[in-house]
Amino acid sequence: MRFFIFFSFICSWQLAIAMDQYDGTILSIDQVQTNGTVYNNVKITISKVISIGQIKLSSSIDLYDPLTMQVSLAQVSYNGVTYANVVALVDKVISVGSSTSTPSLATSKIDLCSVSDSGQQTLNYQKLGSGQMVTLNLPYNYAWSCGVSRNLLGNGVPNHSTTLGNFATDLSAQNISQSFLLSPSLSTTTTKVAPSGFAINSVKFDPGTAGTCLSSASSSGLGGGCDAAGNGGPWVMEALGNSSPWVFGFGTDSSNGHVQPNGQYHYHGMPNGLIGRLNSSSSNTMTLVGLAMDGFPIYARYGYTNPMDGSSALKVMTGSYQTKPNPDLGRPTASVFPMGAFTQDWQYEANSGDLDECNGRYGITPEYPKGTYHYFISDTYPFIQRCVKGTPNISPQAPGPGSAPPMGPPARRLNTQTLSAKR
C-alpha cells in the first residue's frame, strides 16, 4: 500500500529499462530522460502511484513529462516483487549522480507559497567614478507564503554575482515586504506600473529610468544635456539597448541589474544570474522568475511554440515593439542617440513579435498546466513589461528619483535548483 501511495506523486518520466529499486522511502533510478537530457543515478521520493501495468513503454529509457510531472517506469523492484509499467507523480529529487544535496529536476514546478532560501553571496563590482573594485560578502534571504494573499519577504540582495557592474552606490540589504493577489484576473484595460514586479529572490523588476535628455542634448556625457537622475528634459532615457556599448552608461551588470541611490539592487532586463540559479537547463524548460504586480507570473526568455501545447518546442520569445520609422519632432539627433535610446522611440505593433503590449500572452506553463496569462522577460524591448493586464496591488506610479544612478561611461530550499546532467 505504501508503495502504491509513493508512486502516485512521481513525474511523468519513463526511466531506463534496467530495474529500478524502491526501498519504501527512496526510489533509485538508473537513467531518466526529459527534454532530451539523460540523468544518471537519480534518487527521488514520490507521493502517489497513478497506475501499474496499464502502459507499455516503447523506449529503453524511462521518460519524464515536465508538464504533468508524471514518471513512467518500465520495471520497479519493491520487497522482492517486480512491478512493470508504473506511472507515478514525483515529490522531490534527493540526488543525481554523485550529488548529495537536495536539488529538484529543472522541470519541477515552483510553489510560490513555500519557496524560501538564504545564504551568503560574494558580490564584486566597480565603483562608478573612482573605478575602485568593491567586494562585498552579504547575506541574502527570501521567503514566499500564502494566506489571504501571496506574500514575499526578503532583503533584496541578489543570490548571484554582479559581474561587470559599475555602481554609483554600494549595494545594501533592504526590507522587502510585498503582497500579491492569489487569484489574479484580467482587466479590460492595461495599467502602467513601476516597479513591474518582484523576482523570486526578492529583487525588484524596475525597467524604467528617471533619466532624461533635453531636446538640445548633444552627447550622453556630463554637460551634454542628459542626466540619469533627471533634468526636466522631455526625452526619457532607456537603460538597455540593441547595441554594445549602449549610448547611456547606467552601469548594469551581467544580469542587467544595478543599484539605486538607496542601495537597492534591481533588474532592468534579463536576470541571467537568477535564471542560472533556478534552472541550469533553461533552454529546455520554461523558467518562472517572479510575479508581476497584478499577481500573474513572469517567465524568462523561453516559451512554448504553441502556447497551448506543453509538448511543443521551446522558442525565444520576442516583444512586439518596434522603433518608429522616423524620429519624433524635436528629438535629439539620431546620429548621436540612435533610435531606441529613448522610450518615445518605441511603438507597439501587434503581431510583430510573440507578445502583447505588456510583453505577455495566455497559455500553459509548467506551473499552470491548465493555462494562465503570464508575462515574459525578453531580450528585445521592452525587456521587462512596463504595464500589467490585471489589477496591480500598488498605485500606478512613474519611476521615482532613485531609479537611476549618476551617469557613467558608456526553509525549504528552492525546489528549482537544477541537477547536473550526465549524458
Q: From 184, 206, 204, select the one nearest 193 (Cα to Cα).
A: 206
- Domain boundary assignment for the chain: 2-96, 116-390
What cell was used for 260?
Answer: 539605486
What cell was used for 183?
Answer: 487569484
Chain Cα centroid distance, residue 80: 44
φ, ψ of residue 299 to 5 degrees: the values are -115, 165
Strand order in the sheet with 133-146: 166-167, 116-127, 133-146, 150-154, 176-180
Q: From 33, 422, 417, select the one nearest 201 (Cα to Cα).
A: 417
Residue 324 pLDDT: 97
Concatenate the DSSP letters of all residues of 361-401 into one string: EEE--SS-TT-EEEEEE-SSTTSS-SEEEE--SS------T
What cell was used for 384?
Answer: 521587462
Residue 68 pLDDT: 57
What cell was used for 270?
Answer: 534579463
**How does 135-159 read in b/e, with b if 16+ C-beta sit within 10 Å?**
eeeeebbbbbeeeeebbbebbbbbb
Cα 299-258-331 angle, rounded to 5 deg: 90
Handedness of CA 216, 220, 224, 229 (dihedral sign): positive
Query: Could you tell me if 36 and 20 are in contact, meaning their C-beta atoms sit under 8 angstroms apart?
Result: no
- Find where cell 532560501 sits: 117
Residue 85 pLDDT: 85
Residue 262 pLDDT: 95
Length of the chain: 423
- How many whole angstroms separate alpha carbon 205 and alpha carbon 184? 19
- How many whole angstroms separate alpha carbon 144 and alpha carbon 178? 10
Residue 115 pLDDT: 92
How far, in Å, are 48, 76, 82, 141, 205 from residue 85 at the CA level? 15, 8, 10, 42, 45
Residue 21 pLDDT: 84
Three-class SS state of 344: helix
- How many whole angstroms separate alpha carbon 200 and alpha carbon 289? 6
**Beta pairing class for 257-259 and 235-236:** unpaired
**How does 4-13 read in b/e, with b if 16+ C-beta sit within 10 Å?**
bebbbbbbbb
Concatenate the DSSP letters of all residues of 138-206 into one string: EEEEEEEEESSSEEEEE----SS--TT-EESS------EEEEE-SS--EEEEEEE-SS-EEETTS-EE-
Residue 407 pLDDT: 35
- How many whole angstroms separate alpha carbon 324 and alpha carbon 155? 40
pLDDT along the chain (423 residues), means of 10: 39 49 81 68 79 68 64 83 83 57 43 91 92 94 94 97 94 96 92 96 96 94 90 94 78 94 96 91 89 97 94 95 96 95 96 96 93 96 96 56 37 28 29
3-state helix, strand, coil in the chain (%, to 5): 5, 40, 60
Residue 395 pLDDT: 41
Query: Could you tell me if 201 and 115 are in contact, meaning their C-beta atoms sit under 8 angstroms apart?
Result: no
Residue 106 pLDDT: 36
